[in-house]
Amino acid sequence: MNIPFGPCRHGISVLAFGLDLRIFPRVVSNRLTAGSFHLELPAGEFAAFIFDYDGTLADTMPTHYRAWQTALGEHAGDFPEAMFYELGGVPAAQVVEMLNERHGYALPVDATVARKEKVFLELSSEIAAIEPVVSLAREWHGRKPMAVASGGHRRIVMNTLRALGIGGLFDTVVTSEDYSRGKPHPDPFLEAARRLGVLPERCLVFEDTTTGIQAATAAGMASVLVPALSRLRAPQ
């Protein structure tokens, strides 16, 4: 069944489902259906679509967290799941640097990230596509320029896109190697728009984290907040 929306002061719909979704200007939330959800796009014409990868196109977030817990070893307890989801979209190297600064660790950044990526790849066979978002990308493939803008490393992102059979849907894929400042800075989305040859204000972003939504807003782009599957799975 459809879950009703209620009005909010920004003139956009708020999900009436008990989910704690932060709303930013020009952000559209989602309508859930039984066992899944339906994306409701904002009114107006958009020249291009830009998709986040982790948690938006692919249900990778639980696998990423398991990889982090293994890579951090004895320090894993200082990276709780709630913090992991708050940092969604932040490049892995920045996560290690933050943990070092916050807790006084001396974790080698490159080696820790490499270990985390190795574990993630070993577990990647369990990753599934997030079908409501992928279906939308398939529907618009060839009709509208589309990009992926991710905080992940290119090898990881491209491996999963190929495994899911959706790499060919996108005109360009932007990863952490392609910019200096990750989300919540606008750089990933601005680089995607530049490559597509579309003005930022004519792009629509699909994101599953508030960090990513902040980045889209900073880029001057409208956005759709995709519900985190971890919240949809949680008992009500």
Catalytic residues: 52
Residue among 121, 185, 173 nearest 147 (CA): 173
Q: Which amino acid is at 129?
A: A
d(CA 215, CA 139): 25
Taking residue 97's Cβ as centre, other Cβ atoms within 10 Å add up to 15
d(CA 123, CA 167): 19
d(CA 19, CA 185): 25
Helix (H, G, I), strand (E, B) or coil at 148: strand
CA dihedral 127, 129, 130, 135 (to 10 degrees): 180
**What are the CB-based long-range contacts (under 8 Å, 24+) for 219-222?**
219/186, 219/189, 219/190, 219/193, 220/186, 221/26, 221/50, 221/189, 221/193, 222/26, 222/27, 222/28, 222/42, 222/44, 222/46
